[in-house]
Structure 1
Amino acid sequence: MSTTCDFEPIVAAIGDAVVVSDQDGLITVWNPAAERIFGFTKDEAIGRSLDLITPERQRQRHWDGYHKTMQTGVTRYGTTLLRVPALHKDGRTLSIAFTVGLLHGADGRVTGIVAAIRDETSRWAEEKALRSKISELEAARSG
């Protein structure tokens, strides 16, 4: 029995987006689910900055955290789900949720980040509508 595994078919088959970026934040892996969620093909995404899917108003915060993680090798988003806005190729804003894993070189230093990303845009819109309805009902009851 072989002890090696070719992860490419696994990454391609998974329903969540799998995006890997290097130390500089350049995309090195972009699976079919990432294409479906964000609208960019693999060829359009590979080698590009994560700014491709990061809204401009979020970029400074994103890069501050990204560079800190690269320097320290520590992230709280390995087990904690992070919910943030993202960009689709057509310009619309998405609501995504993701966790990350750190990739390490032979010397133990962080060489990249892998993110497992789910599109939660529909769920977020439904929750927003429910919160709005609850507010309306509470206002009608107290008014």
Structure 2
Amino acid sequence: MQTGTDFEQLVNVIGDAVIISDAGGSITFWNPAAERMFGFTQSEALGNSLDLIIPERLRGRHWDGYHKTMATGETRYGNDVLRVPAIHKDGRSLSIAFTVALLHTPQNELTGIVAVIRDETSRFQEDRLLRKRLAELETSVRA
């Protein structure tokens, strides 16, 4: 009977992207699901900034929050699921949902952030089409 979990195996086979970044925002871990989701290989991602997947228009807000989290050791998101746009290596937009957690040394020093990410692009597009269709139907009922 197995009593432990092989965490390396877990993050390599899980369907969600797992990305870890250090205190400065450089990527230190990039699992195979992150490769599939964002199109960058592990060697292309490791050591690079999270700007790799953050749309340019959102980078200022992202980094303000990131640096504040690193300075305070607290995130206001806790267990919340965050939904934001992202970008693929080929330039197309993605809609992602993710949770974040802070990583610490045994001495409780903040070392970085881990994000577990799911691609919700198709669901987001389906929701948008349904909202559009609903608005059209409501308009036709009023006419």
| TM-score using structure 1 length | 0.94
1:10-38 Cα shifts (integer Å, max 9, x gaps): 11011100000000000000000000000
Q: Which moved more, 1:67-76 or 1:126-135?
A: 67-76
Relative distance call for 1:103 and 1:120 in structure 2 (3 A) is same
List runs of 5+ in structure 1 lacking aligned partners.
none
- One-letter code aligned to 1:28: T
Partners of 1:2 and 1:76 lie apart in 2 by 36
Residue 85 of structure 2: SS of its match in structure 1?
A: strand
1:60 match: 60
Say which is worse superposed, 65-74 or 118-127, in terms of deviation.
Answer: 65-74
- Percent identity of paired positions between Structure 1 and Structure 2: 65
> How does 1:81-92 map onto structure 2 within 5 Å?
81-92=81-92
Q: CA RMSD in A?
A: 1.7
Which blocks of at least 5 consecutive residues in structure 2 are unaligned? none
SS in 2 for 1:102: strand
Q: Which residue in 1 is equivalent to 2:46? A: 46
Distance 1:63 1:134 in 2: 37
- Secondary structure of 1:113's aligned partner: strand
Partner of 1:37: 37
Whole-angstrom CA distance in 1 between matches of 2:114 and 2:2? 25
Q: What aligned pairs does 1:124-135 form with structure 2 within 5 A after superposition?
A: 124-135=124-135
Q: Which AA in structure 2 matches 1:70?
A: M
Q: Aligned-pair distance for 1:109? A: 2.1
What amino acid is the match of 2:7? F
